[in-house]
Amino acid sequence: MTVVLPADAAAIARAAAILREGGLVAFPTETVYGLGADATEAWAVARIYDAKDRPSFNPLIAHVADLDAARREAALPEPALRLVEAFWPGALTIVAPAAPSGSVCDLARAGLPSVAVRIPAHPVAQALLAAVGRPIAAPSANRSGHVSPVTAAHVAEDLSGRVDMILDGGRTPAGLESTIVSFCEDSPALLRPGAVAREAIEKILGEKLAAPERAEILGPGMTPSHYAPAARLRLEAHELEEGEAALDFGGRLAARAQAGVFVLDLSPSGDLVEAAANLFAYLREFDARRIANVAVAHVPERGLGEAINDRLRRASAPRLD
């Protein structure tokens, strides 16, 4: 049975008790909804993979309450600490060597010598972490291969009956997962573009982010077709073809669309932050309307455009199944 509750103080206290007993709670963060379990208990973490139908044990992000907790889990080098100061709490995940004092279980780290940590900024996530008093392992709260959820209703569509509780904190503001930077190699590497733009990170670091060196350790979030709606997406469209709906940006395609064509515009004013916030909800909207073919307008590759285009390319990649 899955209870869905507005995320008030009583519901958060109940959620914390569920997590401490090894249960699963979906909760809002400022990026997307997370599917949380006690990160220190392998059997609780195992339930996450089961609920998501995840084909493999890829490593999960450990959400922590504060910097002390992050440093107990991960050996954060000096440049990582500068990013932490600039972006935490917030939509940045740091992968670093696991600290000897760490409590995140092997399963949540998929047996790797590293750990991914993040302090979320969302008040519900923060209250939950404070109440649990342990790191919470949480991938995005969707079935494996589906689009990440940005509302409690999206979570319920995918996971109702598979999690103990869904904390409803409204729609998540960023709408796109966190940016992941690894400090496990000689130079910092961008493992996943996300809600913090690459340029902002490079500015603080004073150097360019490298491409990941060991792509094979990356999980389903990094496989080509991971963010897959049912609709077929045709990227970089300049015109609409017969029978297509449109995922627009800045009104480019709408201007050429015939009357009656279904158009969702990620941002009519061409704002990339607004576009990121709308992306996953709009992909779900096409599926809800059983639309089979969607033409997608060009989205510029700057700022959050890098992460938006990354998700769009994955969503349009040939399916493995």
Per-residue binding letters, 113-152, with ligand TXA (x by CB under 6 A): -xxx---------------------xxx------------
Question: Which residues lie across from 4 on neighbouring strands?
Answer: 166
- Spatial separation of the C-alpha atoms in residues 114 and 75, rounded to whole Å: 9
Which 244-273 positions form the footprint of ligand TXA (CB under 6 A)? none
Residues 6+ apart with CB under 8 A from 138: 27, 29, 34, 35, 36, 37, 48, 60, 61, 63
Nearer to Mg ion, 12 or 150 (CB): 150
- Spatial separation of the C-alpha atoms in residues 97 and 75, rounded to whole Å: 6
The amino acid sitting at 22 is G
Q: Could you say which of 19, 26, 61, 304 contacts ligand TXA (CB under 6 A)?
A: 61
169 scored as a contact of ligand TXA (CB under 6 A): no
CB 22 to ligand TXA: min, Å: 19
Q: Could you say which of 41, 158, 168, 177 contacts ligand TXA (CB under 6 A)?
A: 177
180 scored as a contact of ligand TXA (CB under 6 A): yes
Per-residue binding letters, 274-313, with ligand TXA (x by CB under 6 A): ----------------------------------------
In order, the DSSP letters of 143-191 are -TTSPPPSSHHHHHHHHTTTSSEEEE--S-SS-SPPEEEE-SSSS-EEE
140 scored as a contact of Mg ion (CB under 5 A): yes
Answer with the entry of Mg ion, ligand TXA, none that 135 interacts with (C-beta below 5 to 8 A by kind). Answer: none
Query: Which residue matches tokens 């897959």?
Result: 228
CB 127 to ligand TXA: min, Å: 16
Q: What spatial distance separates the first Cα and last Cα of the chain, rounded to whole Å?
A: 30
Q: Does residue 155 contact residue 141 with C-beta atoms inside 8 Å? A: yes
Answer with the entry of ligand TXA, Mg ion, none that 146 interacts with (C-beta below 5 to 8 A by kind). Answer: none
Class of residue 72 by CB neighbours under 10 A (exposed 0-12, middle 13-18, buried 19+):
middle
Number of residues that bind ligand TXA (CB under 6 A): 28
Report residue 22 as tokens: 């090894």
Question: Which residues form the interface with ligand TXA (CB under 6 A)?
Answer: 29, 31-32, 34, 58-61, 93, 95, 109, 112, 114-116, 138-140, 177-178, 180, 191-192, 217-219, 221-222
Question: Which residues form the interface with Mg ion (CB under 5 A)?
Answer: 140, 221
